[in-house]
Amino acid sequence: MDVSVGSSQPEVSVIVPARNEEASLGECLRSLVSQTEVEFEIIVVDDGSTDGTRAIAESFTGVRVISAGALAAGWTGKNNAVASGAREARGTWILFTDADTVHRPGSLARALAEAKSQGGDLLSYSPEQVVTTFAEKVVMPVVFAELAAEYPPEKVRDASSGIVAANGQYILVRRAAYEAVGGHAVVAHEILEDVALAKAFRRRGLRIFFRYGGDAVRTRMYRNWEQLREGWTKNLALLFPHPARRAAMIAGWWLVAWLMLPLPVAAVALFLRIRGANFGLGTTLLATAFGPPVFAYLLVRSERAHATGTVSWKGRDYKAAANAPAPGSIQDAKQVLGTGC
């Protein structure tokens, strides 16, 4: 069943928050409006853009464009934007996806079918990461290799593991479950809202399905070193417990690998760890050779930024919790969400 965007009875509402995304939004929307085999609507939430973002969104027939509205105290910009979109949504499922994503043909219907077959209340994909510049190729594979080590998808899917994660670039939720946990209002202040939302679902005993989703969606998160540095400074200290310890470990491993090249056991082990991040062979080799010390720098920079109490993203400053609980466990989620249940 082919679909006209903006169906009066959508099964899925696709919500795209966008703040100054003119470089990527057009390709994202072209990939979304061409989805088939499911009734859906697309809502773009313009989050105070000052470039051509809104005009690009309005150029797509059937795409609804709304404004995020004023940013209330205690809310981050993205949480405010996606919550605004959710209030306008009519679907029984909601897909939250970023403006820098590109969706493969038929992926929306396949994701919905997978969520249903897995009994998932929240399905999240970690997209294929597109890297172009030297900085992206050096840093991104190391970051995602470490994320895969910290949040193995099979552990995230296991409710008894205590490990919880989601990737905010692609989160598909059953609307009734989303509303039951309180939606993004319950994580309004969270900088790392995707993991916090997943924790809220897990605390309610709801089913989370998480995997690498390169067959469904790809993204280019950052387009230059400045964006990359600011973005990971905002997030890395929240993603990894004991950031300084991890930075020392990965930098030390890299140093030993270089010092012992005639006996390349450490170098091979490091390569195999980074290889698990689903990047090409050439990029993995480049990241193995140069990436770990840059990752360590960004991790320490992130920890220091959060310790000072302020991080920045897209022209906004956010208060960071200097003593935020380490990520990954249900007990941590109780502190993050401000409850004791």
Q: What pLDDT digit, counting tens, does each position of 176-226 carry?
A: 999 999 999 999 999 999 999 999 999 999 999 999 999 999 999 999 999
The model's confidence at residue 46, banded by pLDDT at 50, 70 and 90, is very high
Mean pLDDT in residue range 69-98 = 96
The encoded tokens of residue 298 equal 């960004």
The pLDDT score that the predictor gives to residue 310 is 87
Is the pLDDT confidence value at 265 over 90?
yes
Cα first-last separation, the chain: 44
Distance CA 256, CA 270 (A): 10
Closest of 132, 134, 127, 150 to residue 250, by C-alpha: 150
- Could you tell me the pTM of the whole model? 0.90
The encoded tokens of residue 123 equal 């399905």
Closest of 323, 324, 290, 319 to residue 140, by C-alpha: 290
User: Torsion-angle region of residue 7: left (phi > 0), alpha (psi -120 to 50) or beta?
Assistant: beta
Distance CA 224, CA 173 (A): 32
Q: Using CA of residue 173, residue 176, residue 180, residue 186, what is the dihedral sign?
A: positive
Q: What pLDDT digit, counting tens, does each position of 108-148 carry?
A: 999 999 999 999 999 999 999 999 999 999 999 999 999 99
The model's confidence at residue 6, banded by pLDDT at 50, 70 and 90, is low
Closest of 250, 284, 269, 288 to residue 146, by C-alpha: 250
Closest of 313, 239, 302 to residue 71, by C-alpha: 313
Amino acid at the residue 341: C
The pLDDT score that the predictor gives to residue 5 is 58
For the chain, domains (ranges, CATH) are 12-127+167-219 (3.90.550.10), 132-150+224-315 (no CATH)
Residue 109 CB neighbour total at 10 angstroms: 19
- Average pLDDT over the chain reads 92
Distance CA 56, CA 230 (A): 25
The pLDDT score that the predictor gives to residue 7 is 53
3-state SS record for 282-330: HHHHHHHHHHHHHHHHHHHHHHHHHHHCEEEECCEEEECCCCCCCCCCH
Mean pLDDT in residue range 263-280 = 96
The pLDDT score that the predictor gives to residue 133 is 97
Q: What pLDDT digit, counting tens, does each position of 278-333 carry?
A: 999 999 999 999 999 999 999 999 999 999 988 898 888 888 764 344 444 333 33
Does residue 210 contact residue 165 with C-beta atoms inside 8 Å? Answer: yes
The pLDDT score that the predictor gives to residue 69 is 85
Residue 1 CB neighbour total at 10 angstroms: 7
The pLDDT score that the predictor gives to residue 319 is 82
The pLDDT score that the predictor gives to residue 317 is 86
